[in-house]
Amino acid sequence: MWKDKLILCDGEQLRHKGSKTAGFMGETDIDTYSIVKADGTETGMVKVEDHTAVKGFRRTITVVQTDSNGKEVVHTSFTPN
């Protein structure tokens, strides 16, 4: 679902780098990914935050994609169905 928001070139894939939680109740899951070409060259990063509000349990997913220079390519938030 959130992967549809990314701008990837042909042959690029995501490689999971790590996960952590944030917030006083662990209400935000944060995953980071490298964007890599077939030869292993890293061309960017993706950070995905999945936040569940403590009051109301509403979820919001935020996706930030950056290129190899750190420039934002995608920055979007949405509520999954």
pTM (2 d.p.): 0.92
Q: Do residues 37 and 12 touch, judged by C-beta distance below 8 A?
A: yes
pLDDT in tens, the chain (81 residues): 899 999 999 999 999 999 999 999 999 999 999 999 999 999 999 999 999 998 888 999 999 999 999 999 999 999 997
Which strand (E) or helix (H) includes residue 20?
Answer: strand 13-22
